[in-house]
């Protein structure tokens, strides 16, 4: 699982779908979408789902602050303890959950994750969120939606819809965690 610094097209690392500039443009659009849907930045709380949702949420918060000129609360929501597949794999070490001091009660919480796939992570996140309070509304923003939902869950803000086969692997790399920004797709039938 070592992050590769470069993922050239057609290499064994897979095909690059989004580069650093694309990711930056996509996030900027999502930031504007969130503001548009919410009619401003009031009462928005961004919560990233570890690990890569957290830096994405921070970037969105910075972009929104750039547009609106005011900081918005941003945190992290770990879902490890709420997974429905705990018994199917060795235990994982949970990551920190950071709920902003303003809390989530009555706020519009935007969950942020890198890839939307089965929807099970989001289901777990909704359970986890309910244990921290009662938001007025919960929205979902993802960098990539790769389809294959197993639950009735959809994203409100999508960076890129990426049709995939289930045998393929979508990998998101972010500068904060993996040196450089990229989204690649690998594996599957060629």
Partner 1 sequence: MRGNGGRMPSGAAAMPRHLLSMADLDAGAIRTILDTATQMQDVQRREVKKIPTLRGRTIINLFFEDSTRTRSSFEIAGKWMSADTINITGKGSSASKGESLRDTVRTIDAMGVDALVIRHGASGAAHQVAGWVDAHVINAGDGTHEHPTQALLDAYTMEQRLGSLEGKHVAIVGDLTHSRVVRSNLISLRRLGADVTLVAPPTLMPSGIGAWSAAEGFTLSHDLDAVLGGKGSGEAARPVDALMMLRVQKERMSGGFFPTAREYTVGYGLTRDRLNRLCDANPEIVICHPGPMNRGLEISADAADAAQSLVLDQVSAGVAVRMSVLYHLLAGEESPTESGATSEGSAA
Residue 62's φ and ψ, nearest 5 degrees, are: -65, -40
Name which of 1 and 21 has its Cβ closer to partner 1.
Answer: 1
* Nearest distance in Å: CB 45, partner 1: 17
Name which of 40 and 94 has its Cβ closer to partner 1.
Answer: 94
* Nearest distance in Å: CB 95, partner 1: 6
* Nearest distance in Å: CB 57, partner 1: 15
User: CA–CA separation, 126 vs 110, rounded Å?
Assistant: 11
Contact residues toward partner 1 (CB under 8 A) are 1, 51-52, 78, 80-82, 85-97, 113-115, 117-118, 120-121, 127, 131-132, 143-144, 146, 166, 169-173, 177-178
Long-range contacts of 37-43 (CB under 8 A, 24+ apart): 37/139, 37/156, 37/157, 38/108, 40/68, 41/68, 41/70, 41/72, 43/106, 43/107, 43/108, 43/136
* Nearest distance in Å: CB 87, partner 1: 5
Question: For residues 45 and 102, is the Cβ–Cβ distance under 8 A?
Answer: yes
* Nearest distance in Å: CB 85, partner 1: 7
């Amino acid at each position: 699982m070592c992050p590769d610094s470069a993922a050239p097209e057609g290499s064994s690392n897979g095909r690059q779908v989004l580069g650093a500039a694309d990711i930056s443009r996509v996030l900027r659009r999502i930031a504007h979408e969130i503001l548009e849907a919410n009619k401003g930045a009031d009462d928005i709380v961004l919560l990233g789902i570890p690990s890569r949702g957290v830096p994405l949420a921070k970037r969105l918060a910075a972009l929104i602050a750039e547009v609106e000129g005011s900081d918005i609360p941003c945190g992290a929501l770990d879902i490890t303890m709420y997974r429905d597949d705990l018994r199917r794999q060795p235990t994982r070490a949970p990551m920190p959950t950071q709920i902003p001091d303003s809390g989530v009660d009555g706020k519009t919480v935007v969950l942020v994750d890198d890839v939307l796939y089965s929807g099970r992570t989001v289901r777990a996140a909704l359970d986890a969120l309910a244990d921290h309070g009662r938001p007025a509304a919960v929205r979902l923003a993802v960098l990539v939606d790769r389809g294959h939902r197993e639950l009735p869950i959809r994203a409100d803000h999508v960076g890129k819809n990426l049709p995939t086969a289930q045998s393929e692997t979508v990998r998101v790399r972010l500068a904060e965690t993996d040196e450089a920004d990229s989204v690649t797709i690998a594996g599957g039938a060629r």
